[in-house]
Amino acid sequence: MLEISNLNIFHGNIQVVWDLCLKVDEGEMVTLIGPNGAGKTTTVETIIGLNRNASGSISFGRENILGMQPYDIFKKGLVLVPEKREIFPKMPVIENLLLGASNQNESESSLKHVYALFPILQEREQQIAGTLSGGEQQMVAIGRALMSKPKLLILDEPSSGLSPILVAEVFRSLENLGREGMTILLLEQNVRLALSMCLRGYVLENGKIVLEGKAKELMHEKHIQKAYLGI
């Protein structure tokens, strides 16, 4: 579904990602892990069209989308849940969610799906989103993305700033989406959690993929254990 080949990304004249290759097949949950500053968010911003200072190929559904406008990429079914959630804090939950619907005629069925996944949002649909807890705001951000019925859902650090209890709750919901067949690319610093729930993984360090493979095998890599798992 998504295939990235020899992607080089620049900020101005400074190169920040080198020859990145990555693939996500339909129905897979794949993780891209690495430390802060490795280039994960820059890679995602390039995938969705926010950063077009890049060369290489990003194919989505066999079409090269590198250089397309973000809205055109969104219409193709590739949707991002950003790291900082970027919800509208002064608007009610329900309005935040409805903004994510690409087809208003299907918004009712999409909303039912979101509420089934996050029942607390239905209870609080009229509550101002900015008054929710961090975990609930993350649910709003994920729910808003799901309203468009994406073909590929990208999540950038969904555990960021959440307590362990809320992280577990959010990731249970992501596992449910995976069981439903949702195709997911997960960017995450919580390496143990990401590898435990995904099928395959890539490790990005200093702008380069240094390891890739099945998640269970990566969990036993000496570099992963030493650098990320404290073993």
**Rounded to 5 degrees, what are φ and ψ at 84?**
-95, 15
Residue type, 9: I
Full set of structural domains in the chain with CATH: 1-77+170-231 (3.40.50.300)
Distance from the first to the final alpha carbon of the chain: 35
pLDDT per residue as tens digits for the range 133-143: 999 999 999 99
pLDDT of res. 231: 79
Global pTM reads 0.93
pLDDT of res. 94: 96
The mean pLDDT value for 35-54 works out to: 93
Beta-bridged to residue 92, according to DSSP, are 128
CA 5 vs CA 8, 36, 171, 201: distances in Å: 9, 23, 29, 16
Range list of β-strands (E), the chain: 2-11, 14-24, 29-33, 54-60, 63-64, 78-81, 152-156, 183-188, 200-205, 208-214
pLDDT per residue as tens digits for the range 157-189: 998 888 888 888 889 999 999 999 999 999 998
pLDDT per residue as tens digits for the range 57-107: 999 998 999 999 999 999 999 999 998 889 999 999 999 999 998 776 678
pLDDT of res. 84: 83
Six-digit token string for 81: 């849940």
**Adjacency order of strands within the sheet including 78-81:** 78-81, 152-156, 183-188, 29-33, 200-205, 208-214
pLDDT of res. 106: 73
